Structure 1
Amino acid sequence: MKFIIDIVKGIFVGVANIIPGVSGGTMAVSMGIYDRMISAITNLFKQFKKSVISLLPIGIGCVIGLVGFTYAIQYLLANQPFPTCLAFIGMILGGVPILVANLKKGMRATHTKFGVVQVIAFLALFALVIVMPLMKSEGQSASLTDPGVVTILKLFLVGIVASATMVIPGVSGSLVLMILGYYYGIIDTLKSFLDSLAAFEMDGILAGGIVLVPFGIGVLLGIFLIAKLIDYLFRRHSVTTYSAIMGLIVASPFAIIYNVMQESGMRITVLNTIAGVVLLAAGAVFTYVMGSKGEE
């Protein structure tokens, strides 16, 4: 029974990881499996059998959640980009109070004040998030069409970066993908790959594999190799780390709006504005409640 329950919890984490603005780490905390996941990851080679048994059902659930929600998220971004965009932003804003509380907790625990180093960390990530979308010169989906060696290497590195953020409560790995300019390309490629797999079309399977395999390897390496670094940063430099994360989060609504406008365009009407505002509020409440439960 515990195996099935862990699969269900993993499904929620998987769905959270594919929605920009929702933190897979926060969802894992709220589901009560975060500490177990991090412990299993960091001790994988020391306690291999125990770690695999612990991670397997969660991993199965994550895959089910990711695959199952891929079609829904692509449809929403293609057909209702503006309300979907506002829903993402609401989910981001809902996580800010939790991050602020963690920042204050770190300051009290380490007797650290918010000083020059923390301001620099905040501004550096804030500026990076603002500048990166502006540097793109072409659509994200086009950048993953017939990828060359350089693009494959980039996908590997992007996988590492995205997976590293997936394990941080309060930070969305999909949001980072969107900021980096690869979210739409990965989602479109994953859907095409699944369609080709269902129809057993080898050309489509190979084309998708060329993109997804290096990205997937990067994700796995990022999770297993950077988990210890993340653990170290939060233990030794929690205030500076949270300051940098706050910079990323505060600037990310701009990156989301810019990216969605570039990829899908946004027809703004009275009806979808009302729907968007409602979804923004609902998204903020959802993320805040999930994060608050994780803090209890």
Structure 2
Amino acid sequence: MNYLIDILKGMVIGISNIIPGVSGGTMAVSLGIYDRMIFSISQLFKNWKASLKTLLPILIGAAFGIVAFTYTIEFLLSQYTLPTALAFVGLILGGVPVLWVSFKAGLKMKNEKLTISHLVVFIIMFALVAVLPMFQGVESSFEAIAITPVSMIKLFFIGIIASATMIVPGMSGSLVLMILGYYYSIINTITSFIDALRAGDMVSLLPNFIILSVFGVGVLIGIFLISKVIEYLFKHYSSLTYSGILGLVLASPFAIMYNTDALNDLTTANGLPFALIGLALMVLCFMGIYQLSKKKIH
């Protein structure tokens, strides 16, 4: 029974990692499995049997959640861009109050006060997220990723970067992919792979498999390597770490609106209803995530 419950919790985490702005780490905290999951990852090579027993049902559930929700996200972003983007903004901002509480707790833990260092880290991270999307080119669309040595190496390291934010409470791995210009391409690759698998189309299956494998290996290696770094940063530089996370999170709405071209919907016949529906969804999503993430993050 516990195995099935962990699969269901893994599905929720998988779905949350597909939605830009929703933190898989925060969701794991809310579901009560974050500490157990991080400990199992960090102890994988020391006690692999026990670690796999804990991680396997979560990973199975996460895989099911990602596959099931990918088509929905692709449809919503293509057909209802503005309402979907505003819903994402609400999901992002809903986690900010809890991050602020965690930041203050980090200051209190070390008997620190707010300093210039905190402000500098915040500004650097904010600027990084706000400015980086403006340098994205065609890769920020649903276009397929070319299989070349350079693109595969780049994709591998993108996987490592994304994996870090997948396990940090308050950060969204899919949002980072969107900021880096790879979110749409990865979503498209997942749906293309599933379609080819169902149709038995080996010609289309192989290139999508290669792309997902390279990205997946980067994610897995990144999770194992970065989990200890994350633990170290939270333990020794908690307030500075949360300063950076707050900068990343608060700049994320700008990145989402820019990367999705959501404001273009305002020039269409559906502009006003889309805006009103989007604002309502933003408020609802804010309240939903705020209630779910009230538990202490770290």
Q: Distance in 2 between matches of 1:38 and 1:169?
A: 11
Once residues 137 and 180 of structure 2 are traced to their aligned partners in structure 1, the CA distance between those partners, rounded to angstroms, is: 13
Shift of 1:229: 0.3
What aligned pairs does 1:43-82 form with structure 2 within 5 A after superposition?
Answer: 43-82=43-82
Contact 1:144 / 1:211 at 8 angstroms: preserved in 2? no
Q: 1:210 to 1:193 in 2, by over 3 A?
A: same
- Measured after TM superposition, the shift of residue 185 of structure 1 is 0.5
Amino acid at match of 1:236: H
Counterpart residue number, 2:5: 5
> Can you list the C-alpha shifts for 1:112-161, whole angstroms capped at 9, x where unaligned?
22212211111111111122111113242466432311111111011001
1:231 paired with 2:231, answer yes
Identity fraction in percent: 49
Q: Provide the rounded CA distance (Å) in 1 between the counterparts of 2:151 and 2:18.
A: 22
The CA deviation string for residues 168-199 of structure 1, in whole angstroms up to 9 with x for no partner, is 11111111111111000100111001100111
Greater shift, 24-33 or 203-212, is seen at 203-212
Q: Report what 1:272 is aligned to.
A: 274
C-alpha separation in 2, matches of 1:14 and 1:245: 21
CA RMSD of aligned residues (A): 1.6
TM-score by length of 1: 0.96
3-state secondary structure, aligned to 1:292: coil
Counterpart amino acid of 1:272? F
Count of residues in correspondence between the two structures: 295
Q: Is the 8 A contact 1:16 1:22 kept in 2?
A: yes
Residue 290 of structure 2 is aligned with which of 288, 291, 295? 288
Query: Using the alignment, how far apart are the partners of 2:211 and 2:141 within structure 1?
Result: 11
Q: Distance in 1 between matches of 2:260 and 2:142?
A: 15
What corresponds to 1:219 in structure 2? 219
For residue 106 of structure 2, what is the aligned residue in structure 1?
A: 106
In structure 2, the residue corresponding to 1:114 is in which secondary structure?
coil
Amino acid at match of 1:218: G
Cα distance in 2, alignment partners of residues 204 and 288 from structure 1: 42
Stretch deviating more after TM superposition (172-181 or 142-151):
142-151
Say whether 1:251 aligns with 2:251: yes
Question: Residue 152 of structure 1 aligns to which amino acid in structure 2?
Answer: M
Quick one: structure 1 residues 60 and 294, their matched pair in 2 at CA, closer, same or farther if it must change by over 3 Å?
farther
Distance across 2 between alignment mates of 1:153 and 1:191: 22
Work out whether residues 26 and 294 of structure 1, in 8 Å CA contact, stay in contact via their aligned partners in 2: no
Query: 2:136 is paired with a residue of what secondary structure?
Result: coil
Which consecutive segments of 4 or more residues in structure 1 shift more than 6 A? none
Hey, what does 1:88 align to over in structure 2? Answer: 88
